[in-house]
A and B are shown apart, each in its own frame.
Chain A
């Protein structure tokens, strides 16, 4: 795991007051080799759409289930509006949870499904009718109120699940991989639809996903998790442009990792060449070895003599909107570059050719090796 040197995770106390939901040192340890969730801390602002992103098994679903009250944390606190809710059972937490499987009640109509939470709260019948109708309007299912779930498409069922969760005006809306069961086209549609519904209702939302694309396109901020720990939290732009660790750099988007040594002046040296300074990330300590990460699209190809590094083109693959070029550096490290067809460097990228690699220094991010 890398260092998070100058993209710090916000300290627990820093803007605690601004947070609607606060997770503090949340741990879930079932006695395995390491805790499934390990001293996790982050906050969600009121009305914010926060993504919890990570590979499968990173503890994100466990975290969501602890917030919902379906799993009891080993230790730590979950604060909603400053109140610790860990001791409360799920039915006293006022949450809305949307499952990957939708989890609709198959023996009830769409309207009855949506009314369920309001009935539990003993809301007067007339008010239930109005609020259910309103919630179904929000998810554009007002025509389907009397259908049973099995008569609906996957996307419609998902919208019923969302209506059922938001109609009770929950403190927080929890979305557990809500798009995973939908086909690709519907997924794109529902991404914007869910975000739109959330923006209109203003409900504070935690969105659990393993899909970086979903997280980047939908969320106000993203919390990246790996093996039970928080790697980084920030806006999609921050996460993508200033990854706090090698894990984040590789998990969100693609990154070339170059092994470099650091000379006496603090400059990075790779394949005998001094790389340009003003990189971001950790400050290179003279005499140490570091890893420099750079996105494939940040590199341009030119004459071999003019580049920061020189390499030999090994492979050129046309992928429609881009051309993927694999290069070998003299020391054997490989670098992938993405070019626009017909753009700069395209003509040079011929297998076997010697080319120069150039990039803006600030797009290179340095991590401890």
Chain B
């Protein structure tokens, strides 16, 4: 009897949590289809007018293109640098390994605004401000700790027995890595690459420091727009950002399974 009651209460609690999380989102989605010229809920009429305005806005479309290109490059480089780092931190033994493990996570703890300022101080004299490679480098500082961390977990959960088995069966360390370790890392690789892409695509604080008039990202453009006015265009942009993150998550889910990618 008591357990039944607890179960009902538990369900009610979870349901309430979902309501709290998803209500604002539902409202934003509704407003994005508004026919009004200001933010209000419920809207007095419905239209696709604001979607048209976003698609016709050169600054947004330009920012979207930049953000997408940067996200793809950042995701690729995160994997390229993150995988060897994770491998070294998990599988190799060298002095200072524990120290490095912690240092690599440092950007996670530092306030992003401090990071942004620091990056600006270094990038300005190096002429990296307002350039693609500057933005990519800055985003890597944010994404690498996540990539390394996820791959580290995947790798240490794998254990070494399969690798040892491969070696005793005649596989050199390189072949063992390519034929045995790497295929088992796929869920971690997909997850960490997706995370890196989402982080880069959504990144605003650091980007604000180093974008310039000729190179800007979508979040920066949205930030600037919202700074000046508030109309349903903002809701459309929010829906756009949510959809893109959702699409990436869905790709992960379809290819390896979201739960699997993150729990292993």
Contact mask B139-172 → A, CB, 8 Å, 1/0? 0000000000000000000010110111111111
Q: Which residues of B contact A164 (CB under 8 A)?
A: 165, 169
User: What number of residue pairs across chains A and B have CB atoms under 8 A from each other?
Assistant: 66
CA distance A121 to B168 in the complex (A): 12
Q: Is the CB of A120 within 8 A of B169?
A: yes
B193-215 interface (Cβ within 8 A of A): none
Report the minimum CB–CB distance from A105 to chain B (whole Å): 6
Q: Is the CB of A70 within 8 A of B169?
A: no
B170-186 interface (Cβ within 8 A of A): 170-172, 175, 179-180, 183-184, 186
Q: Which partner residue on chain B sits nearest A99 by CB separation?
A: B161
Q: Is the CB of A116 within 8 A of B168?
A: no
CA distance A117 to B164 in the complex (A): 12
Check: A302 CB closer than 8 A to any chain B CB.
Answer: no
Q: Which residues of A contact B172 (CB under 8 A)?
A: 91
Q: Is the CB of B184 within 8 A of A106?
A: yes
Number of interface residues of B (CB under 8 A): 18
Given known pairs A106-B184, A107-B183, A107-B184, the reply for A97 and B164 (CB within 8 Å) is yes
The contact of B162 among A89, A94, A105, by CB within 8 Å, is: A105
CA distance A213 to B172 in the complex (A): 37
Q: Is the CB of A103 within 8 A of B161?
A: yes
Q: Which residues of A contact B166 (CB under 8 A)?
A: 105, 116
Chain A interface category by residue count: 20 to 34
Q: Is the CB of A97 within 8 A of B165?
A: yes
Interface of B is mostly: helix
CA distance A86 to B53 in the complex (A): 73
Q: Is the CB of B170 within 8 A of A121?
A: yes
Q: Which residues of B contact A93 (CB under 8 A)?
A: 168
Q: Is the CB of A91 within 8 A of B184?
A: no
Q: Is the CB of A91 within 8 A of B168?
A: yes
Report the minimum CB–CB distance from A119 to chain B (whole Å): 9
Q: Which residues of B contact A101 (CB under 8 A)?
A: 159, 161
Check: A69 CB closer than 8 A to any chain B CB.
Answer: yes
Q: Which residues of A contact B171 (CB under 8 A)?
A: 91, 116, 120
Q: Is the CB of B169 within 8 A of A168?
A: yes
CA distance A70 to B186 in the complex (A): 26
Q: Is the CB of A103 within 8 A of B170?
A: no
Q: Is the CB of B184 within 8 A of A95?
A: no
Q: Which residues of B contact A96 (CB under 8 A)?
A: 168-169
Q: Is the CB of B162 within 8 A of A117?
A: no
Most chain A CB within a 10 A radius of its CB, from B167, B169, B184? B169
Chain B positions near chain A (C-beta within 8 angstroms): 159, 161-162, 164-172, 175, 179-180, 183-184, 186
Chain A positions near chain B (C-beta within 8 angstroms): 68-70, 89-97, 99, 101, 103-107, 116-117, 120-121, 161, 164-165, 168, 174
Known contacts A70-B164, A99-B161, A120-B169; 18 additional CB pairs below 8 A are: A68-B168, A90-B168, A91-B167, A91-B170, A93-B168, A97-B165, A97-B168, A101-B159, A101-B161, A103-B162, A104-B165, A105-B184, A107-B183, A107-B186, A120-B171, A164-B165, A168-B169, A168-B170
Q: Which 9 A-B pairs have the closest CB atoms?
A: A103-B161, A117-B169, A120-B170, A103-B165, A107-B183, A97-B168, A90-B167, A103-B162, A99-B161
